[in-house]
Every structure is written in C-alpha cells, then in structure tokens.
C-alpha cells in the first residue's frame, strides 16, 4: 500500500470514489459501440470525443508521473486509455475509408504530436512543483475539452437544419 501513501484518509476516500465514478463514465459510450458492432456501421457517429478523451488520459498519466505518488490517477487513466483505444478501434473497423483516414490522422496528431509537445515544453524548462502546476493546468484545459468535444456534434446538427 506504499504506492497509495496518502496523508489524508479523506483524500484517499474521495480518490477512490472519483475512480469509481470515472469507470462509470468510461462505460457510458459502450451502448453506442455495441450498436456500431451490431449494425456494422458507424452510422454518422464522430470519433473526435474519444480521441480527445484518449489525449486527456495520456496527459493525466504524464501528470501523475511528474507529480509522483499518484497511484489512483495512473490506474484510472490507464483504464481510460484502454477504453478509448477499444472504442476508437471499433470505430476504425466499421467506419468508411475517409472517416478512418481522418480518425487515424487526428489520433496521431493529438496523441503523438500534442503529447510529445506537452512533454517537450514542460519537461525541460520547468522543474519540481512548477512543472507539476504547469502540466496540471494543461491537463485541466484538455479535460474541459473532453466535455466540450461532443458539442462539435451539436454544432454540426444545427448547421444541417
């Protein structure tokens, strides 16, 4: 239990509750992807929210590594990476060719390019607590993007009407 050495029992309790809620959030798209699997078609679904969520999980893992002693963050975001990768794989299997290419390039740019950029601009110029704060704020901004990403679909629907 040394990896979960949290000085405040309340912090540990809320961390565990947060992980439980996060697991439920990661399961939320499962019915959509079951439908994609059954229909063998993405039926106009967008992969963008899942790509952004994958980026967020990757960056939170980086934050947890920079911060140290963040076992709960590493576990839930590793699970998040797994879920988003599975969802994106389902999407890629059943998406039309054009959507597949767009998704692969988007995931590549976001999860390789942006992740490498964040590591590059935070690892070398910053040290200690400053690095933790900077990476933390970047993660918060990307997390807001995770919840804003589905709005892209709403905007598209409004334009179609």
- DSSP H or E run through 138: helix 128-148
Within 10 A of 70 (CB to CB), how many other CB atoms are there?
20
The answer for 68, left when phi > 0, alpha when psi is -120 to 50, beta otherwise, is: left
Range of the domain at 139: 46-160
User: What would the two tokens of residue 91 be?
Assistant: 């999407």
pLDDT one-digit tens code per residue, 87-106? 999 999 999 999 999 999 99
> Is residue 118 domain-resident?
yes
- Whether residue 75 lies inside any domain: the answer is yes
Q: What pLDDT sits at residue 19? A: 92
The predicted structure's pLDDT at residue 4: 54
**What three-state secondary structure class fits 21?**
helix
Closest CA to 61 of 108, 111, 126: 111
30 within some domain: no
Residues 104-158: tens digit of each pLDDT: 999 999 999 999 999 999 988 899 999 999 999 999 999 998 888 777 777 776 7
Res 1: pLDDT? 43
Find all residues with CB under 8 Å of 158, minimum gap 6, and list them.
Answer: none
In a domain, 26, yes or no: no
Q: Is residue 124 part of a domain?
A: yes
Tell me the pLDDT band of 9, cut-offs 50, 70 and 90: confident
Could you tell me if residue 143 is inside a domain? yes
pLDDT at residue 6, as a whole number? 59
pLDDT at residue number 101: 96
In a domain, 24, yes or no: no
Query: How many separate domains does the chain show?
Result: 1
**Residue 3 domain-assigned (yes or no):** no
Handedness of CA 141, 133, 26, 42 (dihedral sign): positive
Mean pLDDT of the chain: 89
The helix-helix angle for 71-94 and 9-27 (nearest 10°) equals 0
């Amino acid at each position: 239990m040394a990896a979960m050495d949290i000085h405040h029992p309340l912090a540990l309790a809320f961390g565990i509750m947060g992980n439980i809620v996060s697991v439920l959030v990661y399961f939320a798209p499962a019915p959509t992807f079951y439908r994609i699997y059954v229909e063998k078609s993405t039926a106009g679904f967008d992969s963008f929210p899942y790509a952004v969520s994958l980026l967020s999980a990757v960056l939170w893992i980086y934050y947890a590594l920079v911060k140290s002693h963040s076992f709960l963050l590493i576990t839930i975001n590793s699970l998040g990476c797994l879920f988003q990768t599975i969802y994106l794989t389902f999407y890629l299997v059943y998406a039309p060719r054009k959507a597949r290419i767009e998704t692969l390039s988007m995931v590549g740019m976001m999860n390789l390019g942006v992740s490498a950029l964040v590591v590059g601009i935070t690892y070398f110029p910053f040290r200690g607590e400053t690095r933790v704060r900077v990476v933390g704020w970047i993660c918060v901004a990307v997390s807001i993007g995770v919840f804003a990403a589905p709005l892209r679909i709403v905007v598209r629907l409004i334009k179609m009407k």
